[in-house]
Amino acid sequence: MTLDLIVRGGEVYDGSGGAPRRVDIGVRDGKIVALEANLAGEATQVIDATGRIVTPGFVDVHSHYDG
């Protein structure tokens, strides 16, 4: 499998509230196409996330407004 990006070895929290998993993330054309332990294949870019937490992007919508 040829991918654009592989994020390897991170502790993945998927946002569902379930327990985290230590898996590799494969990305092609801007979309996650694989979540597997020891993902086989090559990628244009590889990020070593060992010892790090990997989460979906979060948007903090709070504000401080004094009208």
What are the pLDDT digits (tens) for 24-46?
A: 999 999 999 999 999 999 999 99
Instruction: Quickly list DSSP for 7-67.
Output: EEEEEE--SSSS--EEEEEEEETTEEEEEETT--SEEEEEEE-TTSEE-------------
* Among 34, 20, 66, CA closest to 7: 34
Instruction: Look at residue 35 and tell me if it is in a domain.
Output: yes
- Domain carrying residue 19: 2-51
Residue 63 counted as domain residue: no
Domain annotation covers residue 67: no
Q: pLDDT band at 59, cuts 50/70/90?
A: low
What is the mean predicted confidence (pLDDT) over 5-29? 94
pTM of the model: 0.80
Q: Tell the residue number behind the tokens 């004094």, with chain if given.
A: 66
Domain of residue 29, CATH code? 2.30.40.10
Residue 57 belongs to some domain of the structure? no
Q: Report pLDDT for 15.
A: 82
pLDDT above 80 for 1 = no
Instruction: Compute the Cα dihedral for 58, 52, 38, 45 and give only its sign.
Output: positive
